[in-house]
Structure 1
Amino acid sequence: MRLCFLVEEQYRYDGMPVEVISQLVSWGHRVDVLRPGSSLLSLSDVVRAGSHDAWVLKTVSGGPGLSLLEAAAGVGLTTVNDARAIRGVRDKAVAAAVGRSRGLPLPVTYGAAHPDALADIPSSAYPLVVKPADGSSGRAVRLVPSPERMIEIRAELAGDGMLIAQPYIPNSGTDLKVYCVGGELYATERNSPLHPDRTTKERRVPLSAEVAGIVAEVGAVYGLDLYGVDVLLGPDGPVVVDVNDFPSFRQVPDAAARVGRAILNLARTGSTLPRPPLPHPSPIPAAAGDGR
């Protein structure tokens, strides 16, 4: 197969996707790598029907790669994930509105094009978590304890574009990152970005049937095949606080091969294993052949 990876400079040497690309090449597939953030591209030559079996995106949330992926989808090429699904989850305001309307356990979400508008949020909603609607990797996530503090940081927020604010969910200081790869779910526990003082080492943990069902539903609601979900275990149950279309897949065993096989399956069929995934985490399967 011939695949095209769109890779932002930030991820040029990152294990994900570098190890996946190496794995695919070792299996005999051709992988072209485009760096949309730093290269001049002849779009009419690069984005054309039949050029590749699938395009894969690994870029920062606000980078130019998504436009290229959407162009590839527009000429009929397979994309990983679906380009419309990626657009939907990368705009956190859109993702929050869609997710809550479909019954996912997301927090109440306020949106504001300018930080001054956040002053209208009722004081009873505090403390608040405020972040850019196009943020990623925990960038510019702030815990705001009071309306007075919100006024104090307005200047800091002014450069973040569209903002969302959600009531803080009391939690232990750690959150769950659940990855979906080829229909299988893998959960890790890690420090919450709002509690950097904690020293919990990221590790794999068992996944409850309740959280597994929520994560499976996330994939169905947003139309994602390869994805990650951040979940907080709050006093009223699990809460989805973020969805990523192509995460790091840290702590997923044999991640490069698993992700590589999922990409190849998507390129061939347009979908991975049937959704939703099993409600319980299944035993780690043996590697199925060499992925070819």
Structure 2
Amino acid sequence: MKLCFLVEEHYRHDGMPNEVIRQLQSWGHQVDVLRPGGSLLRMTEALRAGSHDAWVLKTVSGGPGLTLLEAAASAGLTTVNDARSIRRVRDKALAAAIGRSRGLPVPPTYAAARPELLAELPASEYPLVVKPADGSSGRAVHLVASPDRLAAMAPELAREGLLIAQPYVANSGIDLKVYCVDGEFYATERCSPLHPELGVRERRVPLPAEVAAIAGQVGAVYGLDLYGVDVLLGPDGPVVVDVNDFPSFRQVPDAVARVARAVLGLAGGGRAPVPAPVHVPATAGESA
């Protein structure tokens, strides 16, 4: 099988996906690597029909890789994940709207092109979590305690483009990260980016049945095969605070081989099995 991996400079030396690429090569598959952020893209030549069995994206949000992946999809080529699904979750404003409308426990979400527009939110919505709509890896996530603090942060936030704001959901400061690979779920716990002072190291933990049901519904709602879900346990139950396409899969046992096998299965036209969606009332995501 011949595969093309789109790998952003940010992940140039990262174990995921480089170890997956080496695993696929060791199994006898040809893997070409394009670095869309560090090379001239000859768009009209890169997508020759039949040149690759599948295209795989591992790039930062907002990078040029997704454009190339979408071009491949528009030419009828197989992509991992589906390019439209990646777009749905990389735009966090769009992801929140889709998720909440489909019954996922997503907090109420506001979007603003300029930080000063968030001043329209009533004081009762504070504290707020404010972050860029195209953020990734915990970049520029802020816990904003009051309208005065929001006003003071406006110059910093103005550099981030479209912003989203969500009422803070009271929690322990520990997030659950659920990874889905080849239809199986693995849970880890780690410090929330809002509470790095806790110093909790990421580790595997048992996956609660309620969270597993939500993670399965996430795949069905967004159309993802390889993904991660950030969940926090609020006073009203689990809350989905982020969804990532092709995450790190840290702490997943035998992650490299599992991801490599999943890529091959998806490249061959199959899809990793996803549990049937379980309806979760939207009100479960309301903050305390």
The aligned counterpart of 1:170 is: 170
Indicate if the aligned counterparts of 2:127 and 2:146 stay in contact, CA closer than 8 A: yes
Indicate if the aligned counterparts of 2:217 and 2:277 stay in contact, CA closer than 8 A: no
Distance 1:36 1:277 in 2: 36
Distance 1:73 1:49 in 2: 11
Cα shift at 1:41? 2.4
Q: Structure 2 length normalisation: TM-score?
A: 0.95
Cα shift at 1:271? 1.2
The aligned counterpart of 1:37 is: 37
| CA-to-aligned-CA distance 1:192-251 (integer Å, 9 cap, x gap) | 000010111110000011000000000000000000000000011000000001100000
Indicate if the aligned counterparts of 1:184 and 1:278 stay in contact, CA closer than 8 A: no
SS at match of 1:197: helix
Query: Tell me, which stretches of 5 or more residues in structure 1 are unaligned?
Result: 280-292
The aligned counterpart of 1:282 is: none
Indicate if the aligned counterparts of 1:132 and 1:141 stay in contact, CA closer than 8 A: yes
Runs of 4 or more consecutive aligned structure 1 residues displaced over 4 Å after TM superposition: none
Distance 1:13 1:70 in 2: 24
Cα shift at 1:277? 7.0
Cα shift at 1:269? 1.8
| CA-to-aligned-CA distance 1:24-57 (integer Å, 9 cap, x gap) | 0000000000000011122222112111010000
Cα shift at 1:278? 10
Distance 2:226 2:196 in 1: 28
Read off the aligned partner of 1:155 and give its amino acid letter.
Answer: P
Distance 1:56 1:6 in 2: 6
Query: Tell me, which stretches of 5 or more residues in structure 2 are unaligned?
Result: 279-288
The aligned counterpart of 1:119 is: 119
Indicate if the aligned counterparts of 1:215 and 1:229 stay in contact, CA closer than 8 A: yes
The aligned counterpart of 2:275 is: 276
Distance 2:50 2:244 in 1: 28
CA RMSD in angstroms, aligned pairs only: 1.1
Read off the aligned partner of 2:59 and give its amino acid letter.
Answer: T
Indicate if the aligned counterparts of 2:4 and 2:31 stay in contact, CA closer than 8 A: yes
Distance 1:181 1:112 in 2: 34
The aligned counterpart of 1:204 is: 204
Cα shift at 1:123? 0.5
Cα shift at 1:92? 0.2
Distance 2:92 2:158 in 1: 17
The size of the alignment, in residue pairs, is 278
Q: How high is the sequence identity, in percent, across the aligned residues?
A: 74
Indicate if the aligned counterparts of 2:49 and 2:77 stay in contact, CA closer than 8 A: yes
Indicate if the aligned counterparts of 2:220 and 2:277 stay in contact, CA closer than 8 A: no
SS at match of 2:72: helix
Cα shift at 1:270? 3.9
Distance 2:261 2:277 in 1: 19
SS at match of 1:269: coil
| CA-to-aligned-CA distance 1:241-290 (integer Å, 9 cap, x gap) | 00001100000011110000000000112412x221799xxxxxxxxxxx
